[in-house]
Amino acid sequence: MEKPNNTKDNQVEKFRLSLVDDTTHKVLWFRRFSRARMMVAAVAAVVALLVGIFCLIAFTPIRTFIPGYPDARTKRQAIQNAMRIDSLETQILQWELYTENLKRVVSGEEPVRLDSLIRRISRERETADSATLASRDSLLRARVQEEEQFQVPRIHRDLPIEGVHFFTPVKGVVSQGYDARQHPYLDITAPAGSVVTAVLDGTVVFAGWDEDTGYTLVLQHNGDIISVYRRNQKLLKATGESVKAGTPVALVGNSGSLTTGDHLHLELWYRGTAVDPAKYISF
């Protein structure tokens, strides 16, 4: 008994895609493929197309045309809205203080003084800062005690930058963050004329005009730390002066040729290397 011949059914179907000259009927190009190869090629083409579309949207300005994606104008509007909200919060606080004082005057009590309120808030902030510093400084204290146990003389000890308490230089919104290669500093948007304060105790090593960055102030601090304040409207300190942390040193402005609006250009350097101020300062 002969076995049925299934050779024809078991053969793999093959196809050929050809490019033929219509006049001479000469085959200029052809490609043979099977059904499986055709499916693999189609899937690979779809994946490549999706990857290309993703890269085109993610790394080019085309993404700004997507409905709902924030463009530069939307980001600017968000920053301005944040500044307006901050101003409204200040106005509300003033009205609340005025209402409270009005109630106290009507009831015959002594009104609340603004300077006493500020001192109370400062004391609360200092208490919170002291608790934070105590937790950060525990490792340093242990190291110092170990050195003193073996009577190792130390002429000078610099507190690591992680344990240093920085004062906020200006109250505003970070409009552009830190980037180690392209933008090794922070841009903090604030109203023109806002007071810029020193982040630490230090000495003014430069106070003057720069064509690109406008009125610039550079402070040298202990621990090999340097802070730089650019784009100022006016400088309040001169070269060689000593300043205390939190004291006014400049006014926010829009000076210099390379600028986009009123903001503070803040740089922070530690041991000769630019670091991200946002890691150590709360804005």
Q: Which residue has the higher pLDDT, 68 or 78?
A: 78
pLDDT digits (tens, 9 = 90+) for 244-272: 999 999 999 999 887 778 999 999 999 99
Of 46-50, 71-75, 124-128, give the lowest mean pLDDT range: 124-128
Averaged pLDDT, 29-55: 86
Q: Report which listed range, 13-27, 82-96, 109-123, 205-219, is most confident.
A: 205-219
62 sits in which H/E element? none
Residue 207's CB is within 10 A of a number of other CB atoms, namely 21
What was the pLDDT predicted at 269?
94
Higher model confidence: residue 223 or residue 141?
223
Strands 186-189 and 225-235 come out as: unpaired
User: Is the Cα torsion angle 54, 56, 60, 65 positive or negative in sign?
Assistant: negative
Q: Which of 168, 267, 177 is nearest to 213 (CA)?
A: 267
Asked whether residue 151 carries a pLDDT value surpassing 50, the answer given is no
DSSP label at residue 59: S
164-279 CATH: 2.70.70.10
Q: What is the pLDDT of residue 156?
A: 44
Q: Where are the domains of the chain?
A: 13-61, 72-149, 164-279
Asked if 202 and 164 touch (Cβ cutoff 8 Å), the reply is: no
Q: What is the pLDDT of residue 99?
A: 80
- Give 87's pLDDT tier (boundaries 50, 70, 90): confident
CA dist., res. 40 & res. 121, Å (int): 68
Q: Percent of the chain at pLDDT above 70?
A: 75
pLDDT of residue 47: 93
Band of the pLDDT at 152, cuts 50, 70, 90? very low
Mean pLDDT of 211-225: 92
Helix (H) or strand (E) holding 28: strand 27-34
Report the range of poorest mean pLDDT among 3-12, 46-55, 271-280.
Answer: 3-12
Interatomic CA distance for residues 167 and 125, integer angstroms: 11
Asked which of 36-50, 59-73, 247-261, 265-279 is least confident by mean pLDDT, the reply is 59-73
- Average pLDDT on 115-130 reads 58
pLDDT for the residue 76: 74
